[in-house]
């Protein structure tokens, strides 16, 4: 009869013995309370990986006053286009993991109460806010919290908070410039759905207003419409717009759900791009690949925004005296010409 071997938990002493250092040195390396030479730290990391040592989260929190957890607050609205939202969640999660942090994803509809709960209870070391709106009700609570916060999205008031966003105004101007340079004089703009504007999604009007101002400067005709978020409404909307504006030669689509569905809608209508209609948009390259989108577009940069927000947040967590004053940073738009304009 085989004797069942007893599995023993790996301890910090085991790690120290395997790395050839004292247990206190391993403790300092894990807590960050003292600097450890790169060579010694590498030996400790190698021993941890070889032995499968897992740091006890409770013990680490007691030793360092840190949970090594970042709160990620967002909301999944019923009318949200989920693939676009995931483009922002994944880089936050990936970057946090690379820096040694776990993510606590909070999606409660009462976001103010949720934010107050996770910060006042000390569940997280810092917070990243997504789905930021113009008059965001969470910001005062975040300013009052003892933990730092970072925003992906531009609110009306940014003081005291690190903010990262795409320059939506310049993105719109860049696309209008692109079409104007190719001789287009009548352009359709398809914006996010009305509910985005009603909720305070400032990125929607920042883009639309900048496009209209640029078109007016050039003397172009521009027709602005709210887009839809679901099929078959998207198809009906696009067909109605094109029926109403038969002389328009170009379309700017600032609507993730609409641009994802547009190839099939135009194919069903018998519209060829760019021969019959030029199309430009704004979306991430990964998003474009996922939906096989062939359109000239400005990169929306969710990966860069998420990574920048987390890195800045971790700087404030680990070195609050060195992180400096709050920053508001815009990603400069870049356009990729995929030949969808004539």
DSSP states along 214-265 = HHHHHT-EEEEEE--SSTTHHHHHHHHHHHH-TT--EEEE--HHHHHHHHHH
* Torsion angle defined by CA atoms of residues 37, 42, 43 and 49, in that order, rounded to the nearest 10 degrees: 150
pLDDT of 76 reads 83
Tell me if the pTM is above 0.85.
Answer: no
d(CA 139, CA 131): 12
pLDDT of 71 reads 97
Phi, psi of 135 (to 5 degrees): -105, 70
The partner residues of 162 in beta bridges, in order of sequence, read 150
pLDDT of 220 reads 98
For residue 124, which of 143, 97, 105, 151 has the smallest C-alpha distance?
105
184 CB burial (10 A radius; 0-12, 13-18, 19+): buried
CA angle 322, 326, 332 (to 5 degrees): 110
d(CA 30, CA 64): 9
Tell me the pLDDT of the chain (342 aa) as tens digits: 444 444 456 778 888 999 999 887 887 777 655 677 888 888 888 888 888 776 655 455 545 567 899 999 998 877 778 899 999 999 999 999 998 899 999 999 899 999 999 999 989 999 999 999 999 999 999 999 999 999 999 999 999 999 999 999 999 999 999 999 999 999 999 999 999 999 999 999 999 999 999 999 999 999 999 999 999 999 999 999 999 999 999 999 999 999 999 999 999 999 999 999 999 999 999 999 999 999 999 999 999 999 999 999 999 998 887 778 999 999 999 999 999 999
Q: How many CA atoms lie within 13 Å of 34's alpha carbon, on the beta-carbon side?
A: 8
* Torsion angle defined by CA atoms of residues 41, 42, 48 and 54, in that order, rounded to the nearest 10 degrees: 50
pLDDT of 38 reads 81
Strands (E), 34-152: 69-73, 102-106, 126-129, 149-152
pLDDT of 7 reads 45
pLDDT of 54 reads 65
pLDDT of 1 reads 41
């Amino acid at each position: 009869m085989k004797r069942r071997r007893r599995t023993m938990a790996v301890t910090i002493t085991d790690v120290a013995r395997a790395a050839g250092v004292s247990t206190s040195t391993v403790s300092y390396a894990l807590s960050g309370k003292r600097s450890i030479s790169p060579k010694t730290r590498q030996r400790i990391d190698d021993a941890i990986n070889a032995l499968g040592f897992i740091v006890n989260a409770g013990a680490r929190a007691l030793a360092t006053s840190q949970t090594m957890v970042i709160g990620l607050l967002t909301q999944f609205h019923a009318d949200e286009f989920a693939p676009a939202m995931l483009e922002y969640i994944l880089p936050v999660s990936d970057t946090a993991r690379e820096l040694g942090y776990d993510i606590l994803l909070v999606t409660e509809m009462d976001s103010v109460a949720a934010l107050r709960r996770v910060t006042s209870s000390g569940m997280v070391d810092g917070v990243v806010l997504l789905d930021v709106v113009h008059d965001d009700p969470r910001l005062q609570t975040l300013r009052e919290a003892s933990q730092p916060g970072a925003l992906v999205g531009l609110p009306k008031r940014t003081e005291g908070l690190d903010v990262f966003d795409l320059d939506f105004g310049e993105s719109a101007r860049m696309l209008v410039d692109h079409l104007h340079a190719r001789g287009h004089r009548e352009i359709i703009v398809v914006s996010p759905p009305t509910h985005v504007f009603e909720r305070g999604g400032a990125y929607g009007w920042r883009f639309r207003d900048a496009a209209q101002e640029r078109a007016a400067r050039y003397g172009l005709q521009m027709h602005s419409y709210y887009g839809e978020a679901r099929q078959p409404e998207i198809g009906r909307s696009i067909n109605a717009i094109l029926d109403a504006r038969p002389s328009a030669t170009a379309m700017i689509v600032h609507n993730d759900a609409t641009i994802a569905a547009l190839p099939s809608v135009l194919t069903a209508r018998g519209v060829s791009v760019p021969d019959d209609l030029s199309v430009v948009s704004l979306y991430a390259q990964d998003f474009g690949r996922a939906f096989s989108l062939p359109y000239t577009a400005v990169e929306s940069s969710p990966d860069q925004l998420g990574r920048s927000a987390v890195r800045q947040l971790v700087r404030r967590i680990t070195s609050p005296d060195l992180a400096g004053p709050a920053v508001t940073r815009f990603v400069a738009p870049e356009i990729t010409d995929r030949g969808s304009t004539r």
